[in-house]
Structure 1
Amino acid sequence: MSNPKETKKRILSINSVLKTTESMKMISVVKLKKSKKSLSHIKKYSEYIEKLFQYFLLTEEKDSLKKNKYFFSKEKKEKKRLFLIITSNRGLCGSFNSLIFDKIHKIIQENIHDKCLFFSIGKKGLDFLSKKHRYKIYDGNKQFVSHYTYKYKETYPFIIKLIEDFLSKKISSIFLIYNHLKNTLFQEVVVEKFLPIPFSVYNDFSKKPDPILEPSKKMILDCIVPKYLNVKFFKRLLESFTSEHTARMISMHKATENASDIRKNLILNYNKERQITITKEILEIISGLEALK
């Protein structure tokens, strides 16, 4: 039987844990609402950009698109694939990061003979890559993570740099790895091709509008592609944030419930120990009185 004083100290520590987990849960709820609101806005904006992009692609001939640098990449014998992984900056979010890390291990094992580079958006991912796969980190990752605040305007220069590296053949293809929230209780890791742009973005060549394009199709394409990719990237970023806050909210909710159960058991044990102690003291007093008689 433990000491009642020690049990009381444990109850006080559990109370502080409960306050922490409950407050973190409420913070995640507030951040989740903001993230969902931003995600709904970017989804609407993304739909218009995609429609505009597809509308423009329908004005082009299919053969000319197949020769375009944005849609096809002439890969060398040594493939250089870049994987952009979106992780969290903080922990306590369940399996949010570990699922992505497992996916990275699987990709490295499947592409042993190819040169795979990784770029982490999030400190947890950068820490993981620094410890496990330091030689596979893409250039400038530390500077990007330390000075990045995840705003829409700040993603555009990063996308431009990726496009330049892709067009200069430094990397042959780019993929996004992020957590997609299917519902409140389930999320999955998605590996999505980012560059070259897959032909799945449009699938109907039968309708061919004939608009007037100025100044030229090439200049419009060079302008609209970075815009389209930036919107797509930021949308995936917000999806990952929504998934992260949901995972953290659920984790803190479960932690709060577990801490409450532990506290109930400790209070029950504490009351039992007090009752035993009081019973012993009463018996000692009675036995003392009996001895005086």
Structure 2
Amino acid sequence: MPSLKEVKTKITGVKKTSQITKAMNMVAAARLRGAQDKMEAFRPYTSKFNEAMSNLSGGANPDQFPLMENREVKTVELVVVTSDRGLCGSFNANIIKRVEKMMAAYEAEGKTVSLVCVGKKGYQILKKTGKVRKFYSDIMSSFQMFNAREIATDIADNFLKGGSDKVEVVFSKFRSVASQIATVAPMLPVQPIENTEEVEASSSSSGDYIYEPSEEEIMDVLQPLYLNVVVYAAMLEVGAGEHAARMTAMDNATNACKDIVENLTVVYNKARQAAVTNELMDIVGGAEALK
């Protein structure tokens, strides 16, 4: 049985750890509010942007726009969006597992895979594959639209130069505080976006659009913006999901600390009772010896 001092030291250490995890839970909860509000405020913009792109790209000629060029897929580029920090449970691991499965599937088809890592945690694991073309770290804590624009521009330039034939974004979609799902979204080539039932209903009720200037001129401007929106939306989803996952993980850690303290307290009480019993036996034995 461990000594009283050892058990007491362990209890003190676990209580201090519990204070840290509880503080991290509160910080994550506070940051989640801001990240979730920002993400939910951007979702309607993304939806309307996709609706406009669906109306424009549906009748567009892919030969006129390099970013819509469909060619034989020999090289696939995956844009992996993860967080810069850990302590958020299996949040990043789920994204990386999804990427690894996709890499294995594409390579089994004879395709070459390259990676663009946004976020430190994804890069730390995936750099071992030797397939990382470019990485962006230390931006997920305070990213802005210009960060997404920089990433999207690099990806588009690589596509236009023939470095990739297909680009997909892998990120974790925020559904609720307890649910973040690893998701894959197509990025390049830009494809005509299929209307959802809601968009179809709104389109049928509003009629056709008349564009000025021409649809081709508008598409030249909207296509790069569309790539920016895809990357930025993925970063917002991951930013909110990271804080939600960390809040849940720290809450579980705090509860685990409480359970450990309770178990150690039982051990401490047993050890103290054993120590008191031994002392009483020594006293009784000494008294008997004096007689």
TM-score bracket, normalised by the shorter chain, equals 0.7 to 0.9
The structure-2 alpha-carbon separation of the partners of 1:147 and 1:240, relative to structure 1 and needing over 3 Å to count, comes to closer
Distance of 1:147 and 1:102 partners within structure 2: 22
Distance of 1:45 and 1:109 partners within structure 2: 35
Point out the more displaced range, 121-130 or 160-169.
160-169
CA contact (8 A) 2:54 2:193 kept: no
**Letter paired with 2:249:** S
Distance of 1:70 and 1:24 partners within structure 2: 47
Partner residue, 1:248: 246
CA contact (8 A) 2:53 2:192 kept: no
Q: 1:175 aligns with which of 168, 173, 186?
A: 168
Deviation at 1:52, TM superposition (A): 3.6
1:283 aligns with 2:281: yes
Show structure 1 runs of 5+ residues with no match.
none
SS in 1 for 2:172: strand
Partner residue, 1:42: 42
Distance of 1:154 and 1:184 partners within structure 2: 26
CA contact (8 A) 1:71 1:199 kept: no
SS in 2 for 1:111: helix
With normalisation by structure 1, the TM-score equals 0.86
Q: 2:122 aligns with which of 116, 119, 125?
A: 125
Distance of 2:45 and 2:165 partners within structure 1: 29
RMSD: 2.4
Distance of 1:222 and 1:160 partners within structure 2: 14
Deviation at 1:93, TM superposition (A): 1.4
Deviation at 1:94, TM superposition (A): 1.3
Query: Which aligned pairs between 1:135-150 and structure 2 lie closer than 5 A?
Result: 136-138=131-133, 140-141=134-135, 144-145=136-137, 149-150=142-143
Point out the more displaced range, 93-102 or 82-91.
93-102
Identical residues among aligned pairs (%) = 26
With normalisation by structure 2, the TM-score equals 0.87
The structure-2 alpha-carbon separation of the partners of 1:257 and 1:146, relative to structure 1 and needing over 3 Å to count, comes to closer
CA contact (8 A) 1:70 1:195 kept: no
Which digits, 9 at most, give the CA deviation of each residue in 1:76-127, with x for residues without a partner? 4x61111001112122211112212222221222122111111111111111
Q: How many residues align?
A: 281
SS in 1 for 2:85: coil
CA contact (8 A) 1:42 1:231 kept: no
Distance of 1:166 and 1:69 partners within structure 2: 13
